[in-house]
Amino acid sequence: MTTDIVIYHNRECGTSRNTLAMIRNAGIEPHVVEYVKIPPSRVMLESLIDRAGLSPRELLREKGTPYAELGLGDESLSDAALVDAMMEHPILINRPLVVSPLGVRLCRPSEMVLDIVPTPQRGAFTKEDGEKVVDAAGARIA
């Protein structure tokens, strides 16, 4: 099956690595965009935010970013100002964002990707931290 999936990925992030691995566990090789190196255009970023049903603030990443130094906790900042910050510092974009035929999702926790991958898991999956999320039959573990 040909399924077009895009993951906005940061290889330094365990959640992102787990998400990518679950997509591959469904037999799909996604388009991997290392967004810190090659950020989306402003139009694309705004579209992803809208399609994921998020606000720019909900997509902001705090940990390991210049969030505090830039004063991004200021609730009076406009959505446009937050998107400006993400464009200037792509590390502020939380990850992983996944685009599939079933929608766009910020996959935190990583198993949220299972809701938008259109093919079943091909076998068991255990996250890097040892948490089992898919059983040997490919079913999600509740």
If you count them, how many residues does the chain have?
142
SS3 140: strand
Would you name the residues annotated as active-site residues? 13
Quick check: is 141 in a domain? Answer: no
Quick check: is 140 in a domain? Answer: no
Quick check: is 32 in a domain? Answer: yes
SS3 43: helix
For residue 2, is pLDDT > 80?
no
Structure confidence at residue 99 as a pLDDT band (50, 70, 90): very high
Q: Please, are residues 122 and 130 in contact by the beta-carbon 8 Å criterion?
A: no
Quick check: is 139 in a domain? Answer: no
For residue 141, is pLDDT > 50?
yes
The boundaries of the domain holding residue 79 are: 6-134
CB-hemisphere CA count at 13 Å for 11? 4
Give pLDDT, residue 142: 82
Q: Which of 139, 50, 134 is nearest to 97 (CA)?
A: 50
What CATH number is associated with residue 101? 3.40.30.10
Average pLDDT (69-79) is 97
Q: What is the DSSP string of 89-130?
A: -GGGB-S-EEEETTEEEE-SSGGGGGGT-SS---S-EE-TTS
If one counts the domains in the chain, the total is 1
Give the predicted TM-score (pTM) of the model. 0.94
Quick check: is 20 in a domain? Answer: yes
79-88 and 42-51 helices, crossing angle to 10°: 120
Structure tokens at 10: 């940061």
Quick check: is 67 in a domain? Answer: yes
Quick check: is 1 in a domain? Answer: no
Quick check: is 119 in a domain? Answer: yes
Cα of 95 vs its chain's centroid, Å: 4
Average pLDDT (86-115) is 97
